[in-house]
Amino acid sequence: MADQQQLDIEWLFPVPLFRTQLVEFEPNKEPLISFAKDLQRQDAGAKHSNVGGWHSRDIVDSFDSSPLNWVKQNIIASATRGISRARQVNAEIDLQLDSAWFMINQKHNWNSPHTHMPSQWSGILYLSVNEDNAGSNGGRLLFIDPIPLGPAFRNPINAHVQPSEGLLLIFPSYLTHMVEPHASDEERISLSFNFRALQKK
pLDDT: which is higher, 170 or 7: 170
pLDDT confidence of residue 137: 62
pLDDT bucket at 5, cuts 50 / 70 / 90: confident
pLDDT confidence of residue 8: 80
Q: Look up the pTM and report it.
A: 0.89
Neighbouring CB atoms inside 10 A of 97's CB total 20
| pLDDT at position 133 over 60 | no
Does domain 18-199 sit in CATH 2.60.120.620? Answer: yes
Report pLDDT digits (tens) over 55-94.
Answer: 999 999 999 998 999 999 999 999 989 988 887 666 677 8
Domain boundaries, the chain: 18-199
pLDDT bucket at 188, cuts 50 / 70 / 90: very high
12: enclosing H helix or E strand: none
∠124-114-126 over CA atoms, to 5°? 15
CA distance 47 to 55: 7
| pLDDT at position 109 over 70 | yes
Provide the 3-class DSSP secondary structure of residue 179.
Answer: strand
Please, what is the angle between helix 25-42 and helix 68-87, to 10°?
120
CA distance 95 to 193: 12
